């Protein structure tokens, strides 16, 4: 048992030494640590960026995609927000929907838990002619952590 513990202890010390001295230190970028700190101004601004963008798109969607809005205006709304879209029939229901993927601070991807990638999606029910029949739904969610 003592020999086994010495071997395991030696392996543990070896890997710890390897990680700290040969792998971890060259990878750490001290500048990124300060930018990617949750208290940094950059991260604080980033944490407000997605919700603000979602609110803006949601407000524009509520104004532009009211029930009765025609297909051409639906298409124009998505184009004005630079959101690729399509008209789909799912489970007997027609809808117009689109989504965009955005990334946050790419310099934080290797330091923090990710680069704050997110998805913003817009969906509205339409009839067979593409005319809006319900209020739009706008969703914003992180696909990577913040």
Flag whether the pTM goes above 0.75.
no
Residues 40-53, mean pLDDT to the nearest whole number = 74
> Strand 118-126 relative to strand 93-102: parallel, antiparallel, unpaired?
antiparallel
Contact assessment for residue 87 and residue 94, using Cβ atoms and an 8 Å cutoff = yes
Is the per-residue pLDDT at 48 higher than 70? yes
Helix (H) or strand (E) holding 9: helix 2-17
pLDDT digits (tens, 9 = 90+) for 87-132: 999 888 999 999 998 877 666 655 555 667 788 999 999 999 999 9
């Amino acid at each position: 048992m003592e020999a086994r513990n010495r071997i395991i202890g030696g392996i543990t010390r070896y890997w710890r030494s390897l990680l700290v001295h040969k792998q971890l230190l060259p990878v750490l970028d001290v500048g990124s640590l300060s930018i990617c700190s949750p208290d940094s101004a950059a991260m604080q601004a980033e944490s407000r960026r997605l919700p603000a963008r979602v609110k803006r798109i949601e407000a524009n969607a509520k104004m532009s995609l009211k029930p009765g809005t025609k297909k051409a205006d639906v298409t124009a709304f998505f184009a004005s927000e630079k959101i690729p879209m399509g008209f789909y029939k799912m489970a007997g229901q027609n809808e117009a929907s689109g989504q965009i993927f955005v990334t946050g601070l790419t310099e934080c991807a290797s330091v923090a838990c990710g680069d704050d990638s997110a998805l913003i999606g817009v969906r509205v029910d339409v009839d067979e002619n593409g005319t809006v029949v319900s209020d739009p739904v706008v969703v914003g969610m992180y696909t990577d952590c913040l």
